[in-house]
A and B are shown apart, each in its own frame.
Chain A
Amino acid sequence: DAGVIQSPRHEVTEMGQEVTLRCKPISGHNSLFWYRQTMMRGLELLIYFNNNVPIDDSGMPEDRFSAKMPNASFSTLKIQPSEPRDSAVYFCASSRQGLAGQGEQYFGPGTRLTVT
Chain B
Amino acid sequence: QQQVKQSPQSLIVQKGGISIINCAYENTAFDYFPWYQQFPGKGPALLIAIRPDVSEKKEGRFTISFNKSAKQFSLHIMDSQPGDSATYFCAASMTSGTYKYIFGTGTRLKVLA
Establish whether residues A48 and B89, one from each chain, have CB atoms under 8 Å apart when the complex forms.
no
Q: Is B73's CB within 8 Å of the partner chain A?
A: no
* Contacting pair A42 B105 (CB below 8 A): yes
Structural contact, A45 and B101, CB atoms closer than 8 A = yes
- Interface-facing stretch out of A14-22, A66-74, A79-87, A95-103: A95-103
Closest to A104 in B: B46
Interface SS, A side? strand
The reply to whether B103 and A42 contact each other, CB–CB distance below 8 Å, is yes
- The CA of A31 and the CA of B93, in the complex, are separated in Å by 15
A45 to chain B, nearest CB (A): 6
Q: Are A95 and B45 in contact (CB under 8 A)?
A: no
Nearest to A50 among chain B residues (CB) is B99
Interface status of B32 (Cβ within 8 A of chain A): yes
A-B contact pairs, 11 of them (CB 8 A): A33-B100, A42-B104, A42-B106, A45-B103, A50-B99, A56-B98, A91-B44, A97-B99, A102-B95, A105-B34, A107-B44
Which 5 residue pairs are nearest across A and B when measured between Cβ atoms?
A107-B43, A101-B95, A102-B95, A43-B103, A42-B105
